[in-house]
Amino acid sequence: MINRELSWLSFNERVLQEAENPDVPLIERFRFLGIYSDNMDEFFRVRVSTVRRMLALKKNKVQSYKIEGFDGDASKLLEEIRKKVIRQQTHFELCYENLIGELEKKGVFQLREDNLIEAKKDELHSYFHTDLKHVIVPIILKSNSFVPKLRDKSIYLAVKMHTEKKPLYALVEIPPHYPRFYHFKSSGEGKKQYFILIDDIIRLNLDSIFSIFEYKQIEAYTFKFTRDAELDLDDDLSVSFVEKIEKSLKNRKKGQPVRFVYDQLMPIDLQHFLVKSLNLTGGNAIPGGRYHNFKDFSRFPDFGKPELVFPEQAPLTHPDLDHKGSLMKTILEKDVLLHFPYQSFDHVVDVLREAAIDPWVRSIKINVYRVAKDSRILNALMNAVSNGKEVVVFFELQARFDEENNITWAERLKEHGARVIYGFNDLKVHSKLFQINRFYKNQEQDITYVGTGNFHEKTARVYSDLGLLTSKDSIGHEVKKVFRLLENSLERGMYKELIVSPFNSRRKLYALIRQEVLLAKNGRPGLIQIKVNNLVDAAVIEKLYHASKAGVKIQLIVRGVCCLVPGLKGKSENIEVISIVGRFLEHTRFFIFNNDGKKKYYLTSADLMERNLDKRIEVGVPVLDEQLKDEVQAVFDMQWRDNQKARIIDKKQKNKFRKTEGRSHNSQEELYTYYRNKENKG
């Protein structure tokens, strides 16, 4: 197996490839640098922190395959991670410099504090004194002074003042709630445009910030650091689960530093002083370039140049839901499959809005993992409460980095009169469900939604996900059991149609794989097609290896971490794996099993990881409508023939682009065309 952490770094390298790809619009390439940087922050906050904890607990054996002397020891894994990160960091900095050069060819120039003409200096001095000065609070560092806990989401300037005696050191936090980019006013169409980072505006005004000190020279260097983001939930039975989460969120801000990224031009004395003052270790230090926190580059301005960004692709309407009548009536007549971001997430919101005012609706139940801060989904539910409906909302409070937003929304819904249920200490609820219960002419009707992604309007514009709307009794009855499970402290149910973790996922998945093995052994074509975000679980991987050896053809599309090694002689020769990284974040999860020609299709919220199969509540749903089965197959087929954004996953993790003969195929572009044609025919 490939080590999980190293496979993740390989995935983030695929994101970096998009920043380097000349076929990607120029401004979007800057934004891919932002995505790469944000991903890396989370990697250190979560995965590297976990390995460090393992090392501290002396549980220092990490599942891995042996490469370049790495034998699975946690300390050696950390060193291997460090080497790969530094190598990627160098690659990253070169990519940024190249992109700046490309931007100059388009008439847009980045300025720094040391290459400004007087007029632009005057403009920036004015901006600084009007907008920035009063939110900047410098911290003077002394060897024996207390250094406050710094925020790991912020960027800091480490300041060195050269005096007649010992140098003086200080810190300046770059204000997090101000735009990172200052765009100079340009005069006339076609004129050159200029921008500067807020970091350099502050550098320009250091004399103003530190005017009370006497020094011969002053200089500043960017740095940032990342803290352990794990929540430590204690076993105190006297406090509620919400209180435990709130306490842990406060402690997260004091977590141990796991990474210190600094400008490699920073003087060695300043670097050592920071490492000592901030209680860091040399092993945490990663040299980098002049600028950090590139996640802000996810919002890199377009400078009014539409040709440098992706062409507009407005979400399409679903042909079955594109009318002024009742959406629920349509779903009562036929199943509807939605595919975001190609199709509009507004359809989901509109179904709930309709349910909120429908006089026949009695209740709405939903489980929430992540939602937008201004969620229209939850606003629709509050409207339902106002209209006398019973509304039950199950909130997962341990949705990493969304805990505070979920607590805030939970309190709002409770105040509005909804029944709010919180998660469990040791079992996350990651399923994506809602159910509308309706009584019409003495007949009970359930409209059920099972999806692969969150009820989040903003991410639904960039994450690809599938959602099934159905009124089928066989599915609705079992989803009812899942909600009873959530409401009644894990009341276990039996599931014939659904795949529900942690109760029957392994058993059902293994049985589906075993069926393909039996077919292959009897000379029948065995075929497994899977699309997930991550494939990590060792037992599932062994089942797939066994199926491959039996002659089952296995095609896997894995966006992120893939610990399975395809193409090994005598083990995985019948397994191919690709990863697609493009304009949209591939987030759909589904399974296809040939089943002797009577194919079975399942959408699921679960990745193939131990946590998803054994330690979370996840729900997979069969696609029973024949037309929708064809649609899921079409989605897989389009992605499998991708030869523009697909990379080959193999043991060497080189991320080579997949090349095939014939015409080019960009699956994300083809999917948009596929759904646009459906819309037009509808």
3-state DSSP assignment of residue 35: helix
pLDDT at 247 over 60: no
- Give the mean model confidence (pLDDT) for residues 641-648: 97
pLDDT at 566 over 50: yes
- Give the mean model confidence (pLDDT) for residues 581-590: 97
Per DSSP, helices labelled H in 335-493 are 346-357, 376-386, 403-416, 473-487
pLDDT at 467 over 90: yes
Q: Is residue 363 part of a domain?
A: yes
Whether residue 294 sits in one domain with residue 164? yes
Spatial contact of 186 and 192, defined as CB atoms under 8 Å apart: yes
Spatial contact of 102 and 26, defined as CB atoms under 8 Å apart: yes
Confidence of residue 229 (pLDDT cuts 50, 70, 90): low
Instruction: Compute CA distances 421 → 169, 548, 590, whole Å.
Output: 50, 44, 28
Q: Is residue 568 part of a domain?
A: yes
Confidence of residue 283 (pLDDT cuts 50, 70, 90): low
- Predicted pLDDT of residue 282: 55
293 backbone φψ class: left, alpha, beta (φ>0; ψ -120 to 50): left
Per DSSP, helices labelled H in 106-223 are 118-127, 198-204, 206-209
- The residue that leads in pLDDT, 589 or 425, is 589
- Mode of pairing for the β-strands spanning 575-580 and 553-558: parallel
Whether residue 426 sits in one domain with residue 292? no
Angle at 620 between CA 501 and CA 375, to 5 degrees: 100
3-state DSSP assignment of residue 151: coil
- Predicted pLDDT of residue 237: 41
Task: Write out pLDDT tens, residues 322-343.
Answer: 878 999 999 999 999 999 999 9
Whether residue 537 sits in one domain with residue 647? yes
Whether residue 23 sits in one domain with residue 156? yes
- Give the mean model confidence (pLDDT) for residues 10-19: 96
Q: Which residues are within 8 A (CB) of 517 and not within 5 positions of it... i.e. 6 or more apart?
A: 526, 546, 547, 550, 552
Whether residue 159 sits in one domain with residue 55? yes
Task: Write out pLDDT tens, residues 402-429.
Answer: 778 888 888 999 999 999 998 777 789 9
Q: Has 456 been annotated as catalytic?
A: no
Q: Is residue 494 part of a domain?
A: no
d(CA 244, CA 192): 54
- Predicted pLDDT of residue 394: 93
pLDDT at 544 over 70: yes
Q: Which two tokens stand for residue 31?
A: 């934004």
Q: Which residues are within 8 A (CB) of 513 and not within 5 positions of it... i.e. 6 or more apart?
A: 528, 543, 544, 546, 547, 552, 593
Confidence of residue 49 (pLDDT cuts 50, 70, 90): confident
Pick from 240-244, 382-386, 421-425: least confident: 240-244
- The residue that leads in pLDDT, 455 or 65, is 455
Task: Write out pLDDT tens, residues 105-158.
Answer: 999 999 999 989 999 999 999 999 999 999 998 988 876 655 667 777 788 999
Q: Please identify which of the residues 430, 456, 587, 665 carries the catalytic annotation.
A: 430
Domain coverage including residue 103:
4-308
Q: Is residue 319 part of a domain?
A: no
- Predicted pLDDT of residue 404: 83
Please report, for the domain that includes residue 102, its CATH number.
3.30.1840.10
**Boundary residue ending a domain (274, 308, 342):** 308
Number of domains comprising the chain: 3
- The residue that leads in pLDDT, 290 or 389, is 389
Whether residue 298 sits in one domain with residue 367? no
Task: Write out pLDDT tens, residues 80-103.
Answer: 898 999 999 899 999 999 999 999
Whether residue 336 sits in one domain with residue 303? no
Whether residue 189 sits in one domain with residue 46? yes
Q: Is residue 340 part of a domain?
A: yes
- Predicted pLDDT of residue 249: 41
Whether residue 244 sits in one domain with residue 195? yes
Percent residues over pLDDT 90 in the chain: 69
d(CA 186, CA 194): 8
For the chain, the helix, strand and coil percentages under 3-state DSSP, each to the nearest 5 = 40, 25, 40
d(CA 659, CA 544): 25
- Give the mean model confidence (pLDDT) for residues 362-375: 94
Spatial contact of 381 and 364, defined as CB atoms under 8 Å apart: yes
Whether residue 348 sits in one domain with residue 296? no
- Predicted pLDDT of residue 148: 64
- Predicted pLDDT of residue 35: 94
- Predicted pLDDT of residue 285: 79
- The residue that leads in pLDDT, 473 or 493, is 473
Instruction: Compute CA distances 565 → 4, 535, 606, whole Å.
Output: 12, 11, 21
Q: Which residues are within 8 A (CB) of 427 and not within 5 positions of it... i.e. 6 or more apart?
A: 490, 502, 615, 616, 617
Neighbour tally for 550: CB within 10 Å: 17
pLDDT at 640 over 80: yes
Q: Which of 155-159, 439-443, 638-642 has the highest mean pLDDT?
A: 638-642
- What kind and span of H or E run contains 84? helix 74-105
Q: Is residue 314 part of a domain?
A: no
pLDDT at 204 over 80: yes
Neighbour tally for 194: CB within 10 Å: 18
pLDDT at 197 over 60: yes
Query: What pTM, to 2 d.p., does this model score?
Result: 0.90
For the purposes of burial, counting CB atoms within 10 Å of the CB of 226, is it exposed (0-12), middle (13-18) or buried (19 or more)?
Answer: buried
Whether residue 429 sits in one domain with residue 514? no
For the purposes of burial, counting CB atoms within 10 Å of the CB of 575, is it exposed (0-12), middle (13-18) or buried (19 or more)?
Answer: buried
- Predicted pLDDT of residue 232: 45
For the purposes of burial, counting CB atoms within 10 Å of the CB of 661, is it exposed (0-12), middle (13-18) or buried (19 or more)?
Answer: exposed
d(CA 16, CA 34): 10
The beta strands (E) that lie in 264-374 are given as: 285-288, 336-340, 361-368
Q: Is residue 317 part of a domain?
A: no
- Mode of pairing for the β-strands spanning 217-227 and 181-183: unpaired
pLDDT at 246 over 50: no
**Boundary residue ending a domain (453, 487, 521):** 487
Q: Is residue 455 part of a domain?
A: yes
- Give the mean model confidence (pLDDT) for residues 260-264: 87
- The residue that leads in pLDDT, 489 or 575, is 575
Task: Write out pLDDT tens, residues 476-520.
Answer: 999 999 999 998 876 778 999 999 999 999 999 999 999 999 999
Phi, psi of 508 (to 5 degrees): -70, -40
- Predicted pLDDT of residue 69: 31
Q: Which two tokens stand for residue 261?
A: 């990224």
Please report, for the domain that includes residue 622, its CATH number.
3.30.870.10
Neighbour tally for 654: CB within 10 Å: 11
**Boundary residue ending a domain (487, 515, 538):** 487
Mean pLDDT of the chain: 89
Neighbour tally for 647: CB within 10 Å: 22
pLDDT at 310 over 60: yes
Q: Which two tokens stand for residue 515?
A: 């069926």
| Side chain identity, residue 17 | Q
The beta strands (E) that lie in 300-432 are given as: 336-340, 361-368, 390-395, 419-422, 428-429
Whether residue 188 sits in one domain with residue 58? yes
Percent residues over pLDDT 70 in the chain: 90
Task: Write out pLDDT tens, residues 161-174.
Answer: 999 888 999 999 99
d(CA 379, CA 432): 18
Spatial contact of 263 and 89, defined as CB atoms under 8 Å apart: no
